[in-house]
A = this chain, B = another copy of it.
Amino acid sequence: MTDTQVNVQESPEDDYALDKELVANVVAAIEAMDAIALDTLLERLHPADVADLLEQIDPSERRALLSLWSMGIDGDILSELEESLREEVIAFLPAGVLEEAVRDLDSDDVVDLIEDLEDQQQEQILEALNDADRVAVEQALAFPEFSAGRLMQRELVVAPQHWTVGEAIDHLRSEDDLPDAFYHVILVDSAYHPVGYVTLGRLLGSPRQTPLTELQETSFRVIPVTQPERDVAYAFNQYHLISAPVVDEDDRLVGVITIDDAMVVLDEEAEEDILRLAGVGGDESLSDRTLETVRQRFPWLAVNLGTAILASVVISQFEEILSQIVALAVLMPIVASMGGNAGTQSLTVAVRAIATRDLTGSNLLRVVRREAVAGLINGVIFAVVMAIIGVLWFGTPLLGIVIAVAMVVNLVVAALAGILIPIGLEKLGVDPALASGAFVTTVTDVVGFFAFLGLAGALLV
């Protein structure tokens, strides 16, 4: 079946971006309403690439493609689609195609597929499943969103802990319906508690009479079914897990999570952090419509307007001196801007360190001290530079001193705010990636303008 292999080295520039020519050919086939050409082009693509293509073409092209090629849409393609497009695509599929598509998926993929759909579409898909799968999916949906219970698959490969390699292999050979992907045989005691696991590699490499307990891995972690998926992803990454059994509150085995699912979560969480740090709604996607984009960007801009007005109120307290010395108006944005940037640096490092559990009670004091001293050193360097520029530009040594002192003050404050604000928000249960930026910028703007204009008022009049 190597004919389905897609050459990953098609372009020297980018191995994996969708081929521009391919997309152009697909669009041409859509416009010509040539279903056979379309099928030839799409059938050799990986489902993830078909989903990317559906996301990248125009909405009108997408509808035309779905009309021509609805029977080509399978469960894997639906799983790969961005949530914002799934409803649209599912609504477009003939009922028979949709039912066929979801029947081949593992229960965890069905859960992932339908958890954000409207009730009616959810119902339609649930009805397409056989009884066992439907019960499995409904049980998973009973767990909180973003929990291990939603992420896990229920298809398990277990063995009583007293079995030998031969017994386990014979059992596997007699099973008709093994999961699509599994990497361990989970050993359970008589109460169905997981007690260890054996990798398939060790199972295959050992004589039949070897007891499974002799092959058990030394490190073994179970995941509570209610654990947030963010923590699950962290555990996989931190402890290099390949798969991990999931247990209920009585420590009984209820499912298994595999590394590929954890990798998807890790990627989504990083994406969400990046977008939130920039003030964008964490689930914005490139195929969103314009109004959705406006909605995702608006809240942060509104918050920023509030903090900017607060800074303006600070400035307005110094209208008198500003009208006397217009150079202050020219230079004041520099102090605020440097503070804002230094604060963003510190807060980003802090937010990531909190997410990766590297910033704890044990090193907090040292990290805060380091940030403050680093802020002081950079503050002094840039203060000297700015003092020289201020004197050369405006010819007033006192103005140079004012801007230098304000710069040092604001960079130290920025460093401290950048680390203490995310930590404080985390303690209050607020996502520091989401909210730190607004607070830190407010602090650096207010302190920057106040220090610069206040000092100017004291020294220059």
Contacts and interface: CB of A to CB of B under 8 A. Distances in A.
Interface in A338-381: 338, 341-342, 344-345, 347-349, 352-353, 356-363, 366-367, 370-371, 373-374, 377-378, 381
Contacts of A260: 240, 242, 259
Contacts of A195: 2
Q: What 7 A-B pairs have minimum CB-CB distances, sorted nearest first?
A: A278-B348, A270-B270, A200-B200, A329-B329, A293-B374, A308-B334, A56-B363
A432 interface: no
Contact of A370 (B15, B55, B57, B293): B293
Contact of A181 (B238, B242, B347): B242
Interface stretch (A28-36, A137-145, A279-287): A279-287
B231 A16 contact: yes
A178 B173 CA distance: 23
A196 B2 CA distance: 7
A22 B305 CA distance: 45
Contact of A344 (B279, B291, B316, B356): B279
Contacts of A452: none
Given A200-B200, A263-B266, A349-B284, A56 B358 contact: yes
Contact of A358 (B286, B297, B322, B374): B286
Interface in A203-237: 203-207, 216-224, 227, 231, 234-237
A336 B338 contact: no
Given A8-B222, A220-B5, A18 B360 contact: yes
10 contacts: A14-B357, A16-B235, A183-B201, A279-B341, A280-B345, A280-B349, A297-B345, A300-B341, A312-B330, A322-B326
Given A18-B360, A56-B358, A357-B52, A181 B201 contact: yes
Interface stretch (A65-73, A95-103, A121-129, A382-390): A382-390
Given A16-B235, A337-B445, 17 more contacts: A8-B227, A14-B357, A55-B363, A56-B358, A173-B206, A181-B242, A183-B201, A200-B200, A266-B266, A275-B348, A278-B344, A280-B349, A301-B382, A304-B337, A304-B338, A312-B331, A322-B326
Nearest to A453: B329
Nearest to A51: B238
